Amino acid sequence: MNFAQMRISTRLYGGFLLTLAFLLVSTVFALNRMVDINQRMVEIIDVNNVEADLLTVMQLSLQDRRIAARNLILLTDVAQMQPEADRILVQEKNTVMPRPS
C-alpha cells in the first residue's frame, strides 16, 4: 500500500503524529539548551561576579593606599604623617586575599 492509496483519515493521523513527533523533538532540544544556559548563568553568578567583587575591593584599597602615599609625600610634620602610614597598613591588611584551596 503506497501513500496515494491510503485513506484520508490515515494520512491525517500520520501527519498529526509526525507534527507531534517534531514538536516533542524540538521541546527536548529546547529544554536541553535551557539547562545549558542555566549552568552558564550559575557559573557567571557564582564565579565571575565574585571575582569582579574581589577586584573592586582590591582596586578601592589600592586607590586609598595611593592617596595615603601621596599625602605622606606632601606632609612634613611627623604627627600628621602617622595616620597616613597607619591607613596604608590597615588597607594592606584588609585586602589580603585568601589562598585558593
Residues 94, 61 contacting (CB under 8 angstroms): yes
Give the SS3 label for residue 99: coil
| Burial class for 93, CB neighbours closer than 10 Å (0-12, 13-18, 19+) | exposed
Most trustworthy range by pLDDT among 6-20, 42-56, 81-95: 6-20
| Burial class for 3, CB neighbours closer than 10 Å (0-12, 13-18, 19+) | exposed
Alpha-carbon distance of 96 to 89, in angstroms, equals: 11
Residues 75, 62 contacting (CB under 8 angstroms): no
For the chain, give the mean pLDDT. 87
Give the SS3 label for residue 48: helix
- Write the pLDDT tens digit of every residue in 14-42: 999 999 999 999 999 999 999 999 999 99
| Residues in CB range of 11: below 8 A, 6 or more apart | 3
pLDDT at 85 > cutoff 70: yes
pLDDT at 48 > cutoff 90: no
- Does the pTM of the predicted model rise above 0.75? no
Alpha-carbon distance of 85 to 91, in angstroms, equals: 10
